[in-house]
Structure 1
């Protein structure tokens, strides 16, 4: 049957699609084949790179491309796959990404994302012509055949299904039919909520209104979608200069007119009636099969979706699907991927949803953030950096103490071992400084609670830790430490764990480390350099007034803490004593007048074959590291008393005189 046939076209075959749609597109409208290669070495080593291109496709590019995809001669043409020329995947073993479009059906919803996605995936987009009348179950069958075929061709790799609205329902149905195939679903505003949307009321209206109002529906649809209209309002609110505002508003009016025209061509009366019928069938089918979906799923929900109640639907699907996470975008509308500021690559990286094999490999699958991604992650911390004005000191090979990180070894593997300050506040300053000064992306070993939960409960959602995952955090384990060292990474390790980060009253800067030399022999296997360091300053900001010992005296609170702790994977469950007690709680603290943070990196300690063969020698090195950390802490605690800029007001005065980005002096050394 011609209506249900489809063609699998490679990146080279995109020109065949242009030919099948009629005359070839003008050069300005063709998808560019140029892309900056993101090499496998860049994928492996934790250094920041900037592989982004300034020529990302805009909403206007989407409109131009969509106009060329709507051709009268395309009547009864079949659905087909196409792969944008600009998205050729440079990394070996890049997984396949199948984009399943929404109600528009043109398959161009990721046009602004093709260039970056193409550096991580092999992208195929499904095109459903406006005149096509393929039933929902047949669409599912077509995608399913592609999934099975590609899974047989590359059985060890996952297949990504990225779907929006209608496409999300197709992805859920395919996943329900194929629970044994390794699928990763990324669903934007799924149409599983169609039964509760305002769209369902359009179908009966389309049947009774006269033919003269045939174009009214696309116009209304363009208004409730809000994409171009939101841009126009934003330019008024932004308060741009008069000439620039007029130019922007004129461009937005043209864009809105073009968008409405394209919708009119895409959603003629009969087509709109069919699409609404298709959405209804898709929602019913997908909802009936949710219990069969085993795939790892990420739901992207827009809080300002005027077409579907996506915000509530994200929460509902989170409870229905077994392996599901939700990310909310409260100010965005229905066409999420076409809106400014939405970067699917950054979302995938921050949620740790990128993998090339059946299991997540936090080393080989890790792609460092770009410079712009780093700036977005740490932009919210700029004010804190100004308030804390952290001081960084390091020790060179000849024992000299220098300001900054000049004493940190230039080649990995390097294991930075130090004390956790209260509430792990050291995570704010350390990664940013290493990036700014040395272009080194630290790989912190963190508690698994930042990646997964055993059950839902009272702990913050894992989305709270997206920034840390983007910057390279890895769940702590011996295996991950081994793999990071083998990749010559710069690793940040706090042996005291959350017991040290959530310490009791009177335990400021006390090392609460386990007795066993957990990390020394692993470091010795790779000849890693161990750099002990001490962090001081949290007692200048917060004081603990209600600690864990106080809280467990209240039976109700004690039971609550047990429930919270049971939500997360255990760490050091076999370790006896206080060091093995990793119960979660939030200490009661009161703020103090802002002081200053200090980080002092001691002299590096070499490791080698001797520590690997001899357990006693490894224990000696462990003791040496611990003593050096304590020495660093004591050095800073004493010398900070000589710092005239330790109080906040002198630092503020210095910033007023020399600028917010200036480096505030400290004690002499």
Structure 2
């Protein structure tokens, strides 16, 4: 099923909580504030409460909750969280499709007449301060429970509002001002034949058909099929005028509607549309395992708290579920094969195993050498999260964020995970913001030139002549930690580099055209570092060796104002950082020869004898 997300604004919402076949209701104000002055319990699934005449039903004209007592003041909570910490609980895995059917049945067991209405799930909790509002428009069932598996995660960053349409409601589409994005199901079949076809698909896809019968009675389904036709015609006639950001999720195994084709049509019809295609999922996409809606929203840069998305201020750290999935299902095999190990340097110059030598408090600027294709990145990011619960905010090439690398049916990719784990486009403004927020920032001065180096250039630095980062670090009193990472030559052999590929006629034309349209980071720079031609190198895998990291002695810039004023002082510090990176690389290249478990086979034997969870030793520093 193709799903569209939209964000709007409302003044109040209603929070609904299930308790012994009754529902607790409380008013919640904008911005995560809660009104504790009114509380009511009503029967069935109605989201209308009354207490001493101060409540009214949801207004029929626009669907928003209104109170008769306009003078009643809402007490704003002063404990609204400002930000999320890494490994926050998103609730994924604790709610299943069975909970959906249970909630939907509760909504439909008792007559709940009246117009469509909005409710706020209690499971969503209190979002961050200044969070936007997410409006969920239900599918054919109309219960508004379709996001039940995502309530907790979405509630951390959104004021979640779900629309509930009573089973007996017959409000015509023409009478509702709701702007709905809906799948176009144009068909010449009469409504009865449409109903029979949908019923057959529901029987095949959903295991609880007996429950569906009570959730969507036959006459209700027939009415909604008629409604759908007029709604689709209304929406299609206005798609060209929509300039808002739209995110479409399409299923690959949708046996009810052609989700993939519909997603492509929307992508071409809408001015600002992003598509993510889930080839292994069916029609009930948001009720199936493996789909974290909050993760998809974050990874496509659709989460924002102002008019324009900001990669720094709008960033939300990875949840525990995201961390576990990314580093087991996505990159787990790579981590197993490479068996990375990390060392750091204390203030007195002592090298120790682990990351204890890297300051916990920011701002910290990690400056190092970029391995081939950035192969060292995922173990580094995972290591900081696992050992220090710190998200390393990488400064990455802007080409990763422009969407040019996406196919016609883009699936959730490694580029999406890069954004989930904190990468931002390389700009002076983003570096400024990250340091001002006291973040741990990962910077590669050699950039794409190092990550896409040529044969024989392993572990050679290609840094610009300008002190690009030193003055910025000094301005915020950031601690600079130079580091080296080696292992690319133990993982694969570079067989065809840029020079080789440019000798192949068809391939050279493709590379030349791609670079003409690519984003440039250093167009005005002279020298080798400005030669950042993007190309796909051909690698020959080896029996995996190991990645080694050494984080050097921290360099404190706080109190060194002369760096800001004196160019020579800044240049000296710049050269010092560069020298420390080269020293770290040389140290690791030499010391890894002493590691008895440098080879993948040796590490595998060690784990088989001792424990698969036991960390494999390395050389003594």
TM-score range, shorter chain: 0.7 to 0.9
Of 589, 597, 602, 1:650 maps to 602
Q: Is the 8 A contact 1:82 1:126 kept in 2?
A: yes
Quote the Cα distance in structure 2 between the aligned partners of 1:651 and 1:74.
63
Indicate the SS of the match to 1:399: coil
Aligned: 1:370 with 2:319: yes
Aligned-residue offset at 1:191: 1.3
Q: Is the 8 A contact 1:48 1:441 kept in 2?
A: yes
Indicate the SS of the match to 2:583: helix
Indicate the SS of the match to 1:120: coil
Aligned-residue offset at 1:613: 1.9
For residues 488-533 of structure 1, the C-alpha deviation after alignment (integer angstroms, 9 at most, x for no partner) is 1111111111111011011101101111111111110111011111
Task: Describe how 1:238-317 pairs up with structure 2 within 5 A.
Answer: 255-263=208-216, 265=217, 267-268=218-219, 271-317=220-266
Distance 1:568 1:619, change over 3 A: same
Aligned-residue offset at 1:121: 1.1
User: Quick check: 526-535 or 322-331, which moved more?
Assistant: 322-331
Aligned-residue offset at 1:539: 0.7
Of 192, 195, 200, 1:220 maps to 200
Aligned-residue offset at 1:278: 1.8
Quote the Cα distance in structure 2 between the aligned partners of 1:340 and 1:115.
15
Aligned: 1:42 with 2:83: yes
Aligned-residue offset at 1:451: 1.9
Tell me what 1:546 maps to: 496
Aligned-residue offset at 1:272: 2.7
Q: Is the 8 A contact 2:127 2:156 kept in 1?
A: yes
Tell me what 2:275 maps to: 326
Task: Describe how 1:106-117 pairs up with structure 2 within 5 A.
Answer: 106-117=143-154
Q: Is the 8 A contact 2:44 2:109 kept in 1?
A: no
Q: Is the 8 A contact 1:377 1:467 kept in 2?
A: yes
Q: Is the 8 A contact 2:338 2:547 kept in 1?
A: yes
Distance 1:510 1:292, change over 3 A: same
Q: How many aligned residue pairs are there?
A: 562
Quote the Cα distance in structure 2 between the aligned partners of 1:609 and 1:459.
52
Q: Is the 8 A contact 2:337 2:544 kept in 1?
A: yes
Tell me what 1:161 maps to: none
Of 621, 624, 631, 2:583 maps to 631
Aligned: 1:668 with 2:617: no
| Structure 1 unaligned blocks of 5 or more | 1-5, 26-36, 145-169, 172-189, 208-215, 229-254
For residues 105-151 of structure 1, the C-alpha deviation after alignment (integer angstroms, 9 at most, x for no partner) is 22221123222222211122222223333333433x2x35xxxxxxx
Tell me what 1:341 maps to: 290
Tell me what 1:65 maps to: 103
Aligned-residue offset at 1:548: 0.7
User: Quick check: 273-282 or 566-575, which moved more?
Assistant: 566-575
User: What RMSD, in angstroms, separates the aligned Cα atoms of the two structures?
Assistant: 3.0
Tell me what 1:360 maps to: 309
Distance 1:602 1:19, change over 3 A: same
Indicate the SS of the match to 2:550: strand
Distance 1:582 1:64, change over 3 A: same
Of 426, 432, 439, 1:476 maps to 426
Of 561, 564, 576, 1:612 maps to 564
Quote the Cα distance in structure 2 between the aligned partners of 1:605 and 1:417.
11
Indicate the SS of the match to 1:83: strand
Distance 1:132 1:565, change over 3 A: farther
Distance 1:666 1:202, change over 3 A: farther
Tell me what 2:68 maps to: none
Q: Is the 8 A contact 2:243 2:271 kept in 1?
A: yes
Aligned-residue offset at 1:578: 2.6
Tell me what 2:186 maps to: 195
Quote the Cα distance in structure 1 between the aligned partners of 2:232 and 2:169.
19
Aligned-residue offset at 1:393: 1.1
Aligned-residue offset at 1:284: 2.5
Indicate the SS of the match to 1:276: helix
Quote the Cα distance in structure 2 between the aligned partners of 1:54 and 1:500.
39
Quote the Cα distance in structure 2 between the aligned partners of 1:387 and 1:55.
28
Task: Describe how 1:557-576 pairs up with structure 2 within 5 A.
Answer: 557-576=507-526
Task: Describe how 1:66-105 pairs up with structure 2 within 5 A.
Answer: 66-70=104-108, 73-74=111-112, 77-105=114-142
Aligned: 1:205 with 2:196: no
Indicate the SS of the match to 2:602: helix
Quote the Cα distance in structure 1 between the aligned partners of 2:547 and 2:598.
9
Indicate the SS of the match to 1:534: strand
For residues 295-345 of structure 1, the C-alpha deviation after alignment (integer angstroms, 9 at most, x for no partner) is 111111111212111122223322332322211222222222222333222
Aligned-residue offset at 1:541: 1.6
Q: Is the 8 A contact 1:191 1:282 kept in 2?
A: no
Quote the Cα distance in structure 1 between the aligned partners of 2:255 and 2:410.
28
Distance 1:262 1:500, change over 3 A: same
Distance 1:370 1:443, change over 3 A: same
Q: Is the 8 A contact 1:544 1:588 kept in 2?
A: yes
Aligned-residue offset at 1:581: 2.4
Tell me what 2:66 maps to: none
For residues 610-630 of structure 1, the C-alpha deviation after alignment (integer angstroms, 9 at most, x for no partner) is 212222211111111111101
Aligned-residue offset at 1:565: 2.7
Indicate the SS of the match to 1:90: coil
Q: Is the 8 A contact 2:45 2:112 kept in 1?
A: yes
Distance 1:513 1:365, change over 3 A: same
Indicate the SS of the match to 1:346: helix
Q: Is the 8 A contact 1:110 1:338 kept in 2?
A: yes
Distance 1:73 1:644, change over 3 A: closer
Aligned-residue offset at 1:54: 8.1
